[in-house]
């Protein structure tokens, strides 16, 4: 009980931060249930499905498909390498508890410079980077599968090599890439937590606000803007015309 009392500020800040992120994703799930393209992730899923169908039904575009997937794999490989470097750096921090805990908490109020708490914070950060590395590695693995599948002629394909099946595998690769990127973003509040609980709370709130702006698709924002313009009895430019240039 004395240990919990000593770390009460950090526990409360961590709980509030986790609940705020959970509440945001619950809100997002409700929106996606009504409109699958409410988020940019839903738009990307639709685009991948149509792209795979277009490539597999037009053999002349096979080279373009392979080049696109190569760029995808290169990006995932770069991010996996970055996650590996961050894992090594975080492991280095775990051995510096006695030296830097007090100096890093100089701006913190209501927190303790305990070496045990420092190890817990570093371990949370380490787990986040490991999740990112695993997700990016799985993204590379699934994209490598798609490289071979996407050039199979549709009329000769097994049912597991149909455009729909290949699109699902590519979507899984995209999902793993998104998980890796989210892990990087969630690492930001954890890094601020090293300086104190109030920094964690502020960074978590800022992250939720940023994700809310980034996750919504452009079409959703355009529809909201169009509605406000209509209320002012002003002419509305169609969305298609905006992107036709």
How does pLDDT run across 40-85, given as a tens digit for each residue?
888 998 999 999 988 888 878 878 888 899 999 999 999 999 999 9
- Is 159 part of a structural domain of the chain? yes
- Is 228 part of a structural domain of the chain? no
Q: Which pLDDT does position 162 carry in this prediction?
A: 84
Q: Which pLDDT does position 151 carry in this prediction?
A: 81
**Domain enclosing residue 80, as ranges:** 7-216
Q: Which pLDDT does position 196 carry in this prediction?
A: 81
- Is 230 part of a structural domain of the chain? no
Q: Which pLDDT does position 55 carry in this prediction?
A: 87
User: The pTM is what?
Assistant: 0.79
CB 114 within 8 A of CB 101: yes
- Is 180 part of a structural domain of the chain? yes
Regions of the chain with pLDDT less than 50: 1-3, 221-245
- Is 241 part of a structural domain of the chain? no
Please count the structural domains in the chain.
1
Q: Which pLDDT does position 148 carry in this prediction?
A: 86
Q: Which pLDDT does position 219 carry in this prediction?
A: 60
The long-range contacts involving 211-216, CB below 8 angstroms and separated by at least 24 positions, are 211/24, 211/185, 212/24, 214/40, 215/28, 215/39, 215/40, 215/41, 216/38, 216/39, 216/40
- Is 1 part of a structural domain of the chain? no
Q: Which pLDDT does position 244 carry in this prediction?
A: 33
CB 192 within 8 A of CB 200: yes
Q: Which pLDDT does position 118 carry in this prediction?
A: 80
- Is 20 part of a structural domain of the chain? yes
In terms of C-beta density within 10 A (0-12 exposed, 13-18 middle, 19 or more buried), how is residue 32 classed?
A: middle
Cα–Cα distance list, 173 to 50, 72, 155, 177 (Å): 16, 10, 25, 6
Q: Which pLDDT does position 207 carry in this prediction?
A: 94
- Is 229 part of a structural domain of the chain? no
């Amino acid at each position: 009980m004395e240990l919990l009392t000593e770390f009460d500020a950090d526990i409360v800040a961590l709980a509030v931060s986790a609940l705020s992120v959970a509440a945001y994703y619950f809100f997002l799930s409700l929106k996606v249930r009504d409109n699958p393209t409410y988020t940019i992730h839903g738009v990307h899923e639709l685009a991948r499905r149509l792209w795979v169908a277009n490539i597999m039904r037009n053999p002349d575009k096979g080279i373009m498909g392979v080049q696109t997937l190569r760029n995808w794999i290169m990006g995932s490989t770069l991010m996996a390498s970055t996650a590996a470097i961050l894992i090594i750096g975080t492991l280095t921090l775990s051995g510096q508890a006695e030296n830097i805990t007090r100096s890093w908490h100089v701006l913190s109020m209501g927190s303790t410079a305990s070496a045990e708490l420092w190890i817990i914070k570093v371990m949370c950060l380490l787990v986040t980077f490991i999740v990112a590395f695993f997700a990016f590695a799985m993204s590379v693995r699934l994209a490598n599968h798609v490289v071979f599948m996407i050039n199979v002629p549709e009329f000769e394909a097994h049912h597991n090599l149909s455009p729909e099946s290949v699109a699902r595998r590519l979507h899984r690769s995209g999902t793993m890439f998104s998980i890796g990127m989210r892990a990087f973003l969630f690492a930001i509040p954890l890094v601020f937590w090293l300086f104190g609980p109030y920094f964690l709370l502020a960074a978590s709130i800022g992250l939720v606000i940023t994700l809310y702006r980034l996750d919504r698709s452009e079409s959703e924002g355009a529809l909201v803007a169009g509605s406000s313009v209509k209320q002012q009895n002003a002419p509305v430019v169609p969305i298609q015309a905006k992107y036709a240039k």
